[in-house]
Structure 1
Amino acid sequence: MDDTARITLACLDLAGTSVADGGVVEKAFAEALATQGVVRGTEAYGRSMARVQAARGQSKLDVFRQIFSDEDRARAANHSFERAYDSIIDRDGLTPIPGAEATMDKLTDAGVRVCLMTGFGRATLGRVIDTLGWWKRADLLICPDDAGGRGRPYPDMILTAALRLQVENVRHIAVCGDTASDMRSGHRAGASIVAGVLTGAHDRPQLETAGATEVLESISGLPDLILRTTAAIPAPR
């Protein structure tokens, strides 16, 4: 049997993949940079936001470490990012990507475990799940804090999910995300399906260059991709 027909775990990114971003992440980064004296209209701001865009999908703390060489400053900026992001979603709410909830339901009904993963910290991840009412939607929630602090593009979060959910073979994993970092982490983890989606930060060429095995218009195409050849092996419950 083709390994891609035996998917038992789907690792789904949050912002830009399962949840509409609407520029919220970029706004929160801009507010966090301003707390460190990096303001709109300056050369430093332009360089910093270019780094943010290139590093979308990665641990937010790691992104600030790339911008600021001083660890204390990077941590302060990350704390400001989390406060800004929380404030924005408290005010404006969050909206699932069309088809995201149906995708999770279809995968669950087919016996595929669902893991939602993100580059946010644990507190912000919890705030996102609270806002969406998704605590019972997924089998597992993973952020860099759960994987020794290393987020994407490292494979650690995916492999942590595989260990916790007792996946027998990394080829039984599907990864879905909107960034090059999502694609790289899925490729490095050995996932047989590494699907990019066009609802978030990066475009088709960026996703394909980073190792996407498929590029979908949105997450709503993922169940057919996973299940179209043979029914997935039910995961133990």
Structure 2
Amino acid sequence: MQKCEKSHTAFDAVIFDWAGTTVDYGCFAPVQAFMDAFEEFGIVPTMDEVRAPMGMLKIDHVRTMLQMERLTAEWERIYGRPFTEEDVCQVYQLSEKKILENVPRFTDVKPYVTETVETLRRMGIKIGSTTGYTDEMMEIVAADAATKGYKPDCWFSPDSVDRKGRPNPYMIFRNMQFLGLTDVRRVMKVGDTVSDIREGKNAGLFTVGVIEGSSAMGLSREEFKALSPKEKEERSQQVRQMYMEAGADAVVTDIRGVLEYI
């Protein structure tokens, strides 16, 4: 008699980040918003300064930038005093306005996302999501992404957890509650920033960093394609090292790589 084997997976759910992981190759919507907001206050940040805190709650992102040595000095040079929490709030409010203006232009689903999610679902795996966006931003992004083939079973923003965003684990726990999951060992978190990795590890999840199209890489699809093979390898290795130092359990070239760990 032929023995029938029941297929099984190591995970019950995968929780993806949004910008830079599943949509918006290179994570440019928030980056441009932060650049524009700071420039309106007379400060021109570098791309590295903008991207370093990516994935955090947006007001924490602004505060972290203003605490950077060069930007702190620039603020004091321009305004003749140290920045205050009120200044943080003003820059943040402007950046949020800029993001809301930007996100409708940055909702394209990244390569291989729809196929990978379909494969996961055929395996019985649930799909959740966390994000650094607010509910208002997500209503735009999620609706547009759905028309382009990507719609997770649920998503939760910092608005859902009393504004306690990454690297806190609470958005992940809201996903697990909604999806009816109880074992953090059977949930995978996938993201494209150091904050994503820390969020996943703080929740006790197997956590994966995505290289191509990530905020950590910081390149558009065209810019990445224009690199030589050696340059691609060097940039990818830099991102891989960043994720591993943050505690990632695995690093994949693109989103298809998560299937190797299922």
TM range (shorter): 0.7 to 0.9
- Which residue is 2:137 aligned to? 124
Give the RMSD, CA atoms, in angstroms: 2.2
Within the candidate set 149, 156, 175, 1:142 is matched to 156
CA separation in 2, counterparts of 1:158 and 1:93? 24
Does the 8 Å CA contact 1:104/1:137 hold for their aligned counterparts?
no
Report the CA distance shift for 1:93/1:57 in structure 2 as closer, same or farther (over 3 A).
closer
Q: Mark the structure with the bigger radius of gyration.
A: 2
How far did residue 179 of structure 1 move? 0.9
> Which amino acid in structure 2 is aligned with residue 75 of structure 1?
C
Aligned residue among 198, 205, 208 for 2:241: 205
Q: 1:232: which partner in 2?
A: none
Aligned to 2:182: 168
Give unpaired runs (5+ residues) of structure 2: 1-7, 67-82, 217-238
Q: What residue is the counterpart of 1:88 in the other structure?
A: 102
Whether contact under 8 Å (1:197, 1:219) holds in the other structure is: yes
TM-score by length of 2: 0.74
Q: Could you report, residue by residue, the CA deviation over 1:17-70 in whole angstroms, capped at 9, with x for unpaired residues?
A: 1113443322111112233x1432xxxx34xx6443221111112112334564
Question: What number of residue pairs does the alignment pair up?
Answer: 214
Question: Is this contact kept in 1: 2:13–2:125, CA < 8 A?
Answer: yes
Aligned residue in 2 for 1:17: 21
Task: Give the 3-state SS of the residue equivalent to 1:106 in structure 2.
Answer: helix
2:259 corresponds in structure 1 to 223
Per the alignment, residue 112 of structure 1 pairs with 125
The 8 Å contact of residues 98 and 220 in structure 1, kept in 2 or not, is answered as no
Aligned partner of 1:65 in structure 2 is: 63
- Equivalent residue for 2:167, pick from 122, 128, 153: 153
Q: What code does the residue aligned with 1:10 have?
A: V
CA distance 1:152–1:140, shift in 2 (3 Å): same
Paired residues of 1:93 and 1:131 also in contact (CA < 8 A) = no
Unaligned stretches of 5+ residues in structure 1: 227-237
Give the distance between the partners of 1:38 and 1:172, measured in 2 at CA.
47
Identity %: 26
What does 1:16-55 align with in structure 2 at a 5 Å threshold?
16-22=20-26, 23-35=28-40, 37-40=41-44, 45-46=45-46, 50-55=48-53
Q: State the SS of the aligned residue for 1:123.
A: helix
